[in-house]
Structure formats: structure tokens, C-alpha cells
Amino acid sequence: MKKMTACPLDCFDACSITYEDEKIYATKDGHTQGFLCPHLNHYSSFERVQTPRYKGQEISMQEALEKLKEILDANLKSETLHYRGSGNFGLMQEVTDHFFAQIGATLTNGTLCDGAGEAGIIEGRGSNKNMPIQEIAKSEVVIFWGRNPHTTSSHLLPLIKDKTIIVIDPVKTKIAKSADLFIQIKPHTDMYLAMMLARFLHINDMCDNDFLEEYGNEFEEYYELTQTIRIKSMLENMSVSLGEVGKIIELVKDKKVAIVCGVGIQKYRDGADIMRAIDAFGAALGLFGKEGCGVAYLGSSKAGVESPFTTKAKRVSKVDTAFDEFKTVFIQGANPLSQMPDSLRVTNAMRHTQNVVYFGIYENETSQRADLVIPAKTFLEKEDIRTSYSHNAMLPMPKQSESEVGISEYNLAAYLCNAYEIPIKSESQYIEHFKSFSTLHADSSFRVKEREEIPYKDGFDTDDGEFFFLEEIEIDKGSNKIVLTKNRNKKRKVSKDFHLISPKSPKSLNSQFKRESEVFLHSALEFREGEEIILSSSVGSVTLKVKHNDDLRHDCILIYSGTRGVNNLTSALHSYEGKSAVFQEVKVQISRVE
């Protein structure tokens, strides 16, 4: 019999699926439209951890749970860290926070993902209420700004087929190739482009003045700030022509516009300001509170849903976690040894942690380091429910099949709660609690009650209901020269600083599934395909094989998220606002041994 559930992965689309005869199918209705993606199409072919193990020895699940309790008993609870990643977006993942918070363990805050951009949105609008994909479908012009929809939001594509498409990205992505306008911008210069666009709107009297009068009174001051940018030199710095800026303005004129942003724009320390400048362009066009208009980003998947779990706890950042300050680290749904920035630092810190516990589905760098490995059940083998960060549906995920392998988050938390006499409700009570935040929609899907399809209809959530524009910026002019030199060690060094682009791969979901293993660069840089090169930054280095990609700028190298060693290069600094990782803040040098 066909049963409905949903894909559990960290992905904009949060597809609904059916399960029949041990096979996963896409549902035909809603945005899923009958297709999934490689991750779910091949879900059963990825090998998983079958058996728990302690110090390399296989043990039973009962022994693993007892071992976990023994480890927790042996140390002060304040010396225990619960580090949870985004391997599964089911709301029941948080049930373990409930246990760890209650015993007085430390939890995490900060993010490896979207925090800088979110901080910028909140500063401007007072909240982060997202434009759902169903509204993007009603627009006439879509600007993909640092978002790669063929890879990360493929279910948006059928909804935007006949629209005017503008793409702003340093990489000529698939959508860029068919776009009406593609701007191959220099990385980390988007804030200036956004400011210039607002300035030209004003000059051409194309601002939505009624909107600004009501909700953006400070726009004149912001316009003055945009005038501090010297147009000619900044165009050169961004590698954007005046004609291209003019073309954007022409294409958006009097149209319903959706600016669809991704995390690409904000993997920098000033990511919040960049997002805020893009939002300001949206405000100048009056895109908020209107059908088919808006600025889409990653909303909070938990918006409009209250947690039933106790989560009040001491917290440390996920970006530069001092694992060595804890005796026990319990890692769930995450692969920090690959996905956190500054991998060498993480490896060294975790070397000094007495007990590393890994609770996950797949083998990876972190499971290899762990003392105790506990396999988790897949989403098909446990009860759950999920929400999305890009649409408003709430999708029940009832158990589809039985399996001998692994344990669910609920059962693990229940075991520990019982052992420590901590109250915990039944699994179905928690699922019902989550469901109570949804309501049946006309199209027979459940949607989160409190989320608006068109947010900011009655103004912004700032103190005075108005958009709060950026008030100051720092101008980074940057410099780039390409020189090929031969140094004395016969190390041929391309003495140039390359921008690191570290985006998402179509084959993997961060470090899950089929992971990439190469560095991509433009063939004009004269490295041979297949040759190994050493990439170094001020943080560390990694050796990878070259693959050509002429969709890249000459001043960029691309290493996908999930590639082993990519985060040797990246810095564990935080964004100025939003406590976020900044994976693209570093510059990379290339060398090779002849």
C-alpha cells in the first residue's frame, strides 16, 4: 500500500514522497511534481553503518546504550557537549537536546549555514519571514542571486519556466546559461552592485515612492550612502559593466520581481550587510507585502512552530567549538571533521576529547574518529514530521518500514531520560504537538498556521514598522594580478590570490552521498586535468586533482562542500553579525611540484 512521507534532507524543496514495495516515489501533486533528485532516487544504494562499535569493536545496541550511559556517568555533565548538525531536518531530531539540556550539558548555537544573511534580513525587516516558492511562481522576473537552483532547489525550475531570468553569480551555472541576463560578478562584491542598483533606481525615478513613504522613510539617507561608491572604479572591481547594471534596471521595471538569494552571497564576514543591501534594493522596488514579489532566502524551518522540548542550556558556537574543553562530545546528524571550517583545528581539538560519540547514518571522518559509534535509523524507519525553510507545508513522516539496524533519536533519548529519571512524553504526543501548529489548506496539504504566504503586508517587524536601511559600509577595493613564476624549489607557483568558491554539489548533500574529490579551475590557468596541485590559504592546505571548468572566472577556484580537505583552507572566524561560518573569506594560492 502506498504511504505518504517526506524527504528528510536539508534542502529548500522538502519534497513529499510515497513509499511502496520498498521503493521511494515522488508525489505528483504540489511542487514535488513527480520527480525527486539523485540523493533520494538512489537512497537505498548508499552504504550505512550497520552495527554499533566501541573503540573499533562491534557491540550490540543494548551494549552501546549502556556504554553511552557509563560515559555520561563518568564525567561532570557540564563537561559534556551535544553537537547536532543538519543531516536530517525532521523535528524529532531535537528530542535529544531535551535530554542533554536537562542533565546540564552544553548545547551549541551559531551556524555553519545561513546565519550571516539571516542577521542582515532581521536587521532590515525586524524578522526573517520568507517568500515561499508558491509566491515565486507568481512573479514575472526572477533574479537568482548567489543561488544555484539546478543543484539546490530543482523543484523551483518548472515553476519559473516562462519568466525573465537574471542570474548574478561568479560561476556560469546551468541557470546562467539560459538566463536573459547573466552577470558573472567578482565574488564578494554583491553589496556594491546592490547599492548601485538602488542608486540607479533613484536616479531614474524608478523607486516605489508610495511604498518608501509608508515603509522606508530613511531611503534618502541610504541613497546618500550609495553615492559614496565611485561608480567607475567599483564597476571595474565587480567586473560588471554599466550596460549590465542598466539592463537589470530595464528588466525589473514595473514587473513583479522575486529576488531569490542563496547562501553564496554571504559566506563572508560582512555577509549580513551584503544581504541587507540586496534587501534594500528590494525595498526600493517596493517588493514587500505584494503578491509574486519579494526577496526569498532561507527562512527558519521552525518558524511558527514551538518546540515541546526543554532546550534551555549553556551554549557554545558551532563554528569554532573548543571540543578539547569537553570530556564527552556527542555528535548527532553531523560530520564536523569535514564540514566545520578549519579542519586541522577541529582534528586537533577532537584528538584531546576523551569520548567522542557519533550518532549518524553514514561512515565519515567523524565516525572514523569516534570512540563510540551508534547507527541511527533512516527517516523511513522512524516516526517524524518536518517543515521547510522555503515553503510553508508541514509534512508528516510516519514510519514506513521496520529494520534491525540503528535506533531512532526518540528511542535513544527515551532510554537516557529513563536512566536519569528525566520526564519525557510519548513519541506520538510530540508528533501531535507539532501537528497542532498546522492547518489543512485548500490543496489538501497541511501548512504551518502562523506563516504568511505574503509576509510584510502590513509593514515590517522593526520597532516603527519601517525598513531599516544600511547606515555605513566599508569599501574593500581588492586587487588581482595573475603572474606565473618559477621559484627556486622548482615549485611552480601561481603567485595570485584566488577566490575560493565552495558551493553545493549536485552529487552530494554536503558530506552525505556521493562526495566530490577535485578542485575545479579554468583551463586557461594551464593546469592539466588530473594533475595534483597544492592549494593553500593562511589557514592550511590541501592537495587535490585538477578538473577543468570554463564556467569559472579566471580568478576563482571551486571546491564543492563535502570534498575531503576543503575546510583545511577555510577559517573558523565568525561573521560580524549572525554567528555564522564564513567559508569563502579566505584567499587561496596554488603551487605544484614539477
Ligand X SMILES: Nc1nc2c(c(=O)[nH]1)N[C@H]1C(S)=C(S)[C@@H](COP(=O)(O)OP(=O)(O)OC[C@H]3O[C@@H](n4cnc5c(=O)[nH]c(N)nc54)[C@H](O)[C@@H]3O)O[C@H]1N2
- 3-state SS of 236-266 is HHHCCCHHHHHHHHHHHCCCCEEEEECHHHH
Contact call for residue 7 and ligand SF4 (CB under 6 A): yes
Contact call for residue 9 and ligand SF4 (CB under 6 A): yes
**Could you tell me the sign of the dihedral formed by the alpha carbons of 339, 345, 348, 354, in that order?**
negative
Q: In the window 103-162, what residues touch Mo ion (CB under 5 A)?
A: 113
Give the Cα separation of 458 and 270 in Å (integer): 29
- Return the number of the residue (12 or 326) whose C-beta is nearest ligand X: 12
Choices 155-163, 213-221, 327-335, 471-479 (CB under 6 A): range interacting with ligand X: 327-335
Residue 15 binds which entry of ligand SF4, ligand X, Mo ion, none, with Cβ cut-offs from 5 to 8 Å by kind?
Answer: ligand SF4
Contact call for residue 188 and ligand X (CB under 6 A): yes
Reading phi first (left if > 0) and then psi (alpha if -120 to 50, else beta), residue 138 is in: alpha
- Return the number of the residue (271 or 292) whose C-beta is nearest ligand X: 271
What number of other Cβ atoms are within 10 A of residue 169's Cβ?
26
Half-sphere exposure for 293 (CA within 13 Å, toward CB): 21
Residue 359 binds which entry of ligand X, Mo ion, ligand SF4, none, with Cβ cut-offs from 5 to 8 Å by kind?
Answer: ligand X
Contact call for residue 72 and ligand X (CB under 6 A): no
Contact call for residue 567 and ligand X (CB under 6 A): yes
Bridge pairing between strands 23-26 and 16-20: antiparallel
Residue 40 binds which entry of ligand SF4, Mo ion, ligand X, none, with Cβ cut-offs from 5 to 8 Å by kind?
Answer: ligand SF4
Decide: 433 and 94 in contact? Cβ < 8 Å: no
**Could you tell me the sign of the dihedral formed by the alpha carbons of 31, 34, 36, 40, in that order?**
positive
Shortest Å distance, C-beta 118 to Mo ion: 11
Closest CA to 564 of 525, 535, 593, 530: 535
Q: Taking the C-alpha atoms of 278, 284, 288 and 291 in order, what is their torsion angle to the nearest 10 degrees? A: -110
- Return the number of the residue (89 or 468) whose C-beta is nearest ligand SF4: 89
Sketch the per residue contact string, 32 through 71, with ligand SF4: x for CB under 6 A, - otherwise.
Answer: ----xx-xx-------------------------------
Give the Cα separation of 460 and 59 in Å (integer): 55
The 8 Å CB, 24+ separation contacts for 178-186 are 179/144, 180/251, 181/244, 181/247, 181/248, 181/251, 183/240, 183/244, 183/248, 184/239, 184/553, 185/238, 185/239, 185/240, 186/237, 186/238, 186/239, 186/478, 186/499, 186/553, 186/555
Cα Rg of the chain, angstroms: 24
- For the chain, give the longest Cα–Cα distance: 72
Contact call for residue 272 and Mo ion (CB under 5 A): no
Sketch the per residue contact string, 143 through 182, with ligand SF4: x for CB under 6 A, - otherwise.
Answer: -----------x----------------------------
Contact call for residue 151 and ligand X (CB under 6 A): yes
Residue 276 binds which entry of Mo ion, ligand X, ligand SF4, none, with Cβ cut-offs from 5 to 8 Å by kind?
Answer: none
Contact call for residue 364 and ligand X (CB under 6 A): yes
Of 52, 308, 503, 565, the residue at the interface with ligand X (CB under 6 A) is 503
What does residue 511 show for φ and ψ, rounded to 5 degrees? -100, 15
Of 148, 226, 392, 580, the residue at the interface with ligand X (CB under 6 A) is 148
Question: 3-class SS at 55?
Answer: coil
Of 13, 114, 427, 555, the residue at the interface with ligand SF4 (CB under 6 A) is 13
Of 117, 126, 187, 289, the residue at the interface with ligand X (CB under 6 A) is 187
- Return the number of the residue (152 or 388) whose C-beta is nearest ligand X: 152
Give the Cα separation of 490 and 592 in Å (integer): 9
Decide: 355 and 371 in contact? Cβ < 8 Å: yes
Residue type, 508: S
Residue 7 binds which entry of Mo ion, ligand SF4, ligand X, none, with Cβ cut-offs from 5 to 8 Å by kind?
Answer: ligand SF4
Contact call for residue 320 and ligand SF4 (CB under 6 A): no
Residue whose C-alpha cell is 522593526: 462
- Return the number of the residue (163 or 290) whose C-beta is nearest ligand X: 163
Please tell me the count of residues contacting ligand SF4 according to CB under 6 A: 11
Shortest Å distance, C-beta 381 to ligand X: 9
Of 102, 106, 108, 173, the residue at the interface with ligand X (CB under 6 A) is 173
Contact call for residue 11 and Mo ion (CB under 5 A): no
Q: Give the residues lining the site for ligand SF4 (CB under 6 A).
A: 7, 9, 11, 13-15, 36-37, 39-40, 154
Q: Give the residues lining the site for Mo ion (CB under 5 A).
A: 113
Q: Give the residues lining the site for ligand X (CB under 6 A).
A: 10-11, 85-88, 112-114, 145-148, 151-152, 168-171, 173, 185, 187-188, 190, 262-265, 332-335, 339, 359-362, 364, 376, 379, 501-506, 508-512, 561, 566-567, 570, 583-584
